[in-house]
């Protein structure tokens, strides 16, 4: 049996299986690695906030699209905050990142956040709850950016309703002033579910995600075109939950993805790409097993996972371009609570590149601390 018939059979099986079972978040559950508040703090109270992320990710990739390398280090973001009222808080601190094997700090940056939270609504200015919190699919947002680009600065608005939810944000990545020799860069988007239906055991939702990266400005002296890269994806996700010690959930998620470059500069060739992503999984013995299928056609994004792109990011195989990308990825993850607001996550992700006929894999270990401690109790 040749490779093409095998691929067709796998594709048909995947589609049938996906419609036969059901929620997925088009990627593994990253909730254990999210940024957030931690415990509730009484109003008129100062507090100490500690965010600590320890990472080890090893990519054993040897193909022509993505490089193999290891990310190993730690991030520390101690902050002082004050709960001004029930709904308003201010936080300021410093973000430190240290990659092991490097005697210098990779990053030393101040952080600041204004937060307003009331019932189902949240608003943040300054350092927002970005990165994996946006819950973007991996062809659009690389999981590794939680290591390499965790901080986002700008504004964020979130709403969580019984029947719909959304996260919309602007991350201002590069500010310019008059006569700057560089262009401004900003990235923003919308990630949510426009419809959520079901019960405690059965859930169906329609996810919609839109992102845009803009490079431009009117007061700079930099050369080169201004442009906006836009990505969009939508589909159907559903899940069935079980009250069992062994089997807790089966789920699936189907997404159509599209990307386009827009510019007024006629010398810039528009880049148009599309893709289809299907995920199906099961949670057994508190371990998440998920099978992913990706089919991309000239699909490249600014911040997406390297494996999904048509254009190679490899150093050794620079210039390689594969019009159509077809991948099968098995994802296995398990999270262990080490203490309150402290977790350890293990991941293994073998993948098979159907186009190049290659088997590669990656694995990782992550420890996340997200804690707030009141410095004095309200009298």
**Radius of gyration of the CA atoms of the chain, in A:** 22
Instruction: Write down the pLDDT at residue 36.
Output: 73
190 DSSP β-pair partners: 168, 210
pLDDT given at position 187: 98
Q: Which residues pair with 59 in a beta bridge?
A: 69, 362
Query: pLDDT class for 110, splitting at 50, 70, 90?
Result: very high
Mean pLDDT throughout 326-354?
96
22: pLDDT strictly greater than 60: no
Residue 78 lies in a domain: no
Please check whether residue 231 lies inside any domain of the structure: yes
Residue 337 has pLDDT above 70, yes or no: yes
The confidence score (pLDDT) of residue 18 equals: 34
236-246 average pLDDT score: 92
Beta-sheet pairing, 121-127 with 107-118 = antiparallel
- Burial label for 130, CB within 10 Å (0-12, 13-18, 19+), is buried
Q: Cα separation of 108 and 284, whole Å?
A: 41
Our count of domains for the chain comes to 1
Q: Let me know if residue 377 belongs to a domain.
A: no
pLDDT at 16 over 50: no
CA atoms within 13 A on the CB side of 27: 18
144 falls in which pLDDT band (50, 70, 90)?
very high
Q: Which residue has the tokens 């991941």?
A: 347
Contact 332, 322 (CB under 8 A): no
**Residues 1-19: what's their mean pLDDT?**
38
Count of Cβ atoms closer than 10 Å to residue 237 Cβ: 22
Within-domain flag for 58:
no
Measured in whole angstroms, how far is the alpha carbon of residue 149 from the centre of its chain?
A: 11
What was the pLDDT predicted at 15?
36
Return the number of other C-beta atoms located less than 10 Å from residue 88's C-beta: 15
State the pLDDT at residue 6. 37
pLDDT at 2 over 50: no
Which residues on adjacent β-strands are paired with residue 262?
228
The Cα–Cα gap between 75 and 95 comes to 7
Asked whether residue 250 is domain-assigned, the answer is yes
| Helix count and strand count (H, E) for the chain | 2, 16
3-state secondary structure 10-78: HHHHHHHHHHHCCCCECECCCHHHCCCCCCCCCCCEEEEEEEEEEEEEEEECCCCCCCCEEEEEEEEEE
- How many whole angstroms separate alpha carbon 81 and alpha carbon 59? 37
- Residue 147 belongs to domain spanning: 3-35+115-367
Residue 46 is assigned to a structural domain of this protein? no
Of the listed ranges 7-11, 75-79, 100-104, the least confidently predicted one is 7-11
Q: What is the mean pLDDT of the chain?
A: 90
Q: Is residue 324 part of a domain?
A: yes
Cα–Cα distance, 91 to 89 (Å, whole number): 7
**Span 330-356, average pLDDT:** 95
Residue 63 located in a structural domain: no
């Amino acid at each position: 049996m040749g490779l093409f018939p095998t691929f067709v059979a796998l594709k048909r099986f995947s589609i049938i299986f996906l419609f036969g079972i059901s929620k997925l978040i088009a990627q593994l559950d990253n909730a254990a690695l999210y940024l957030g508040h931690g415990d509730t703090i009484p109003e008129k109270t100062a507090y100490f906030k500690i965010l600590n992320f320890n990472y080890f990710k090893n990519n054993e990739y040897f193909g022509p699209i993505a490089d193999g390398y290891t990310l190993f280090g730690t991030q520390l973001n101690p902050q002082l905050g004050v709960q001004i009222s029930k709904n308003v808080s201010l936080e300021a601190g410093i973000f430190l990142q240290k990659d092991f094997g490097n005697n210098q700090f990779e990053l030393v940056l101040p952080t600041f956040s204004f937060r307003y939270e009331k019932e189902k609504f949240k608003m943040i200015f300054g350092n927002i709850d970005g990165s994996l919190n946006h819950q973007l699919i991996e062809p659009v947002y690389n999981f590794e950016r939680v290591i390499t680009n965790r901080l986002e600065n700008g504004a964020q608005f979130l709403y969580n309703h019984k029947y719909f939810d959304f996260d919309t944000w602007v991350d201002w990545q590069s500010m310019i002033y008059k006569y700057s020799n560089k262009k401004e860069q900003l990235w923003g988007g919308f990630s949510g579910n426009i419809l959520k239906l079901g019960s405690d055991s059965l859930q169906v939702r329609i996810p919609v995600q839109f992102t845009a990266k803009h490079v431009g400005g009117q007061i700079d002296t930099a050369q080169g075109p201004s442009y906006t890269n836009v990505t969009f994806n939508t589909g159907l996700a559903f899940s069935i939950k079980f009250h069992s010690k062994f089997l807790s959930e089966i789920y699936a998620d189907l997404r159509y993805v599209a990307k386009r470059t827009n510019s007024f500069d006629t010398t810039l060739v528009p880049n148009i790409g599309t893709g289809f992503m299907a995920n199906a999984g099961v949670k057994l013995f508190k371990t998440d097993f998920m099978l992913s299928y990706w089919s991309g056609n000239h699909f490249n994004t600014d911040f997406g996972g390297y494996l999904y792109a048509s254009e190679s990011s490899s150093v050794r195989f620079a210039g390689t371009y594969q019009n159509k990308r077809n991948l099968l990825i098995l994802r296995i993850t398990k999270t262990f609570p080490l203490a309150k607001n402290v977790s350890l996550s293990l991941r293994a992700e073998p993948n098979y590149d159907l186009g190049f006929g290659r088997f590669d894999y990656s694995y990782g270990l992550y420890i996340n601390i997200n804690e707030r401690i009141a410095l004095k109790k309200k009298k």
